[in-house]
A = this chain, B = another copy of it.
Amino acid sequence: MNERGQLTLSSNDIGKRLGVGSHNIRKDLTYLGETGTTGSGYDIKTLKEQISRCLGFDRKRKACIVGLDKTGTAILSNDMFFSKNFDIVAGFDSNINRLETLKIDIPLYPTYDIPVVIRRERIELALLTLSGETAQIVTEKLIDGGIKGIVNFSPVVLSSSDSSVYISNVDIINEFRFLSALFTLDRGEA
């Protein structure tokens, strides 16, 4: 049931919410296989489960964090970065002294162990919170270990040497820039 108490949704309903024609919705949803349509539309519960399975949201993924300075450890100690879909199973840092003194509940390893640990633990995702120059080197190590996706929180734009590895660059300053460009254009300040 959705927030309006409906049990089913028509392709028309979905299209309106997304600003897409109902024909496109019907076409895209055939990709899911059998979606249990009835005269009144798609069964919401079935549709959710099928989309979830199709996008891989029905299984737990292993993740790691690289860079355990203040930002990295703040993220690790913050509930808001945990989710039932992702388990952070390893932390990496190049500072051996830091690894020995940090009080953290997950196994910690030096950066040079990245390829071995990623491969052994079958880790699929990595969060990078490094302060710069080393981010690209670490990225190569992660790719070497077989990582599938990287969320980059470092202030450099990373590129992937392997086109099957996805990288998402998250940068607060860039978000500030983007927003200020929007409101500058909007208000004709320039």
Contacts and interface: CB of A to CB of B under 8 A. Distances in A.
A71 B63 contact: no
Contact of A80 (B125, B131, B148, B180): B131
Given A75-B172, A81-B172, A168-B175, A149 B183 contact: yes
Nearest to A71: B74
A85 interface: yes
B63 A148 contact: no
A182 B154 contact: no
A182 to B, nearest CB: 5
Interface residues of A, number: 55
A77 B83 contact: no
A3 interface: no
Interface string A25-43: 0000000000000000000
A170 interface: yes
Contacts of A54: 184-185, 190
Contact of A176 (B70, B86, B182): B86
A55 B149 contact: no
A172 B177 CA distance: 19
Contact of A189 (B56, B63, B73): B56
Q: Which are the 6 A-B pairs with shortest beta-carbon distances? A: A149-B179, A56-B184, A74-B74, A55-B181, A70-B74, A80-B155
13 contacts: A56-B180, A57-B180, A70-B73, A71-B78, A82-B173, A85-B176, A124-B180, A125-B179, A148-B180, A151-B172, A166-B183, A168-B175, A168-B179
Interface of A: 53-57, 61, 63, 69-71, 73-75, 77-83, 85-86, 124-125, 127, 131-132, 148-151, 153-155, 164, 166, 168, 170, 172-173, 175-187, 189-190
